[in-house]
Structure 1
Amino acid sequence: MAVLPIRIMGDPVLHSPASEVTEITDEVRTLVADMYETMDLAPGVGLAAPQVGVPQRIYVYSYVDDDDRPWRGEIINPELWMTPPEPGSPDPDEESEGCLSFPGERFPLRRSDRVLVTGVDLSGEPVRIEVDGWRARIMQHEFDHLDGILYVDRLSDGDWKTVQKIARKRGWTRGGASWTPGVDDLEG
């Protein structure tokens, strides 16, 4: 297994829809193992293949549920259904999120509170996940990556302008920027 560089905001692979996985090969299995290792070291609760430069419809996740049970898995070729989000502005304390592809920042974003995700796992077995709250946010966030959408693309105009200033200051407006967990210090 290997820790992979995580692409940052301006990279074209993050802004294009990913391709379906047509066959679960040893290469796909290695990619998923590397994604878990990268996500864990980052640390993150989810990681999509485009974030490590691979334009395929795969993401991994890892979180602890409300009953302190760990949940960890991968979803290949996911489909997402969700209830409409509640109208209104997001609560900055309860509805903020961050992204490993826009590291070091968090912004409030309203998401649906309930989702259903289906797909397959590495064995080709069907996966069906119905979750709410924080877990639903993770699923929507990672699914967005597969459609070429970063959470910062969904922010209010004011927050979007702040994102643009940060990206310019850090040199993230062009492709090619990345960071490697355990290697790069992104503080400050």
Structure 2
Amino acid sequence: MIYPVVVYGHPVLRKVAEDIDKDYKDLDTIIENMWETMYHSDGIGLAAPQIGKSIRLFVIDADPLKDEFPELKGLKQVFINAKIELLESKEESLSEGCLSLPTIREDVKRPTKIRITYFDQNFQKKVEEYEGFAARVIQHEYDHIEGKLFIDYLNPLKKRILKGRLTKISKGDVEVKYKIKTAK
């Protein structure tokens, strides 16, 4: 089942999501549907708040970008109850987009190296380090379960410039090839 993607303005995108356990109702089905929704929307990541569920779950398949960013080769993973423990102080600014902020792309400064603790789909605990664009993609999805969006990292002037477009997105006045869900 393909879920509609929750867009800017919906309160679920601003909530800190809740941890879940392995007995969370229909978890495997939710994950399967998140993959389907992400692929249908041409995304490389999708977090549960983006489908209206305030739980600490996100999926990433960044392998399609491996030619441009070799560190993304084979990066296909389910992240449950993730916690980023270490952020390297070195930061890099690169362009980001988001299914919940369609038509908006902006440069965002993020740390280039992270360590993340999470559970995979089988609830096996993992502690892994990622660098470069892989670290960026994970941080972007992680932000969703922390109630943050990439526009939160922009300077106030840039946010003011985007205000009209954000208002249109929040009203559903945006053209995308996937179904969206607004706050109304």
TM-score category by the smaller chain? 0.7 to 0.9
8 Å Cα contact 2:109/2:153 also seen in 1: no
| Cα distance, 1:34–1:126 mapped onto 2, change above 3 Å | same
| Partner Cα separation in structure 2 for residue 178 and residue 25 of structure 1 | 34
Counterpart mapping for 1:1-188 below 5 A: 2-25=1-24, 27-64=26-63, 65=66, 66=70, 69-80=73-84, 81-86=86-91, 91=93, 95-168=94-167, 170=168, 172=170, 177=172, 183-184=178-179
Runs of 5+ in structure 2 lacking a partner? none
8 Å Cα contact 2:43/2:99 also seen in 1: yes
Other structure's SS at 1:55 match: coil
The AA in structure 1 aligned to 2:147 is G
8 Å Cα contact 1:78/1:118 also seen in 2: yes
8 Å Cα contact 2:71/2:133 also seen in 1: no
Q: Deviation per CA, 1:89-140, whole angstroms, max 9, x where unpaired?
A: x65xxx0100110012100110000011111011111123311111110111
8 Å Cα contact 1:119/1:127 also seen in 2: yes
8 Å Cα contact 1:5/1:178 also seen in 2: no
Aligned residues: 174
Give TM-score scaled by structure 2 length.
0.85
| Cα distance, 1:26–1:118 mapped onto 2, change above 3 Å | same
Q: Deviation per CA, 1:33-89, whole angstroms, max 9, x where unpaired?
A: 111111111111111000000000000001124177322110100010211243xxx
| Partner Cα separation in structure 1 for residue 46 and residue 169 of structure 2 | 22
Give TM-score scaled by structure 1 length.
0.83
The AA in structure 2 aligned to 1:79 is K
RMSD: 2.4
- % identical equivalent positions: 28
| Partner Cα separation in structure 2 for residue 160 and residue 3 of structure 1 | 31
Deviates more, 1:3-12 or 1:16-25: 16-25
| Cα distance, 1:24–1:84 mapped onto 2, change above 3 Å | farther
Q: What displacement does 1:160 show?
A: 0.9
8 Å Cα contact 1:21/1:57 also seen in 2: yes
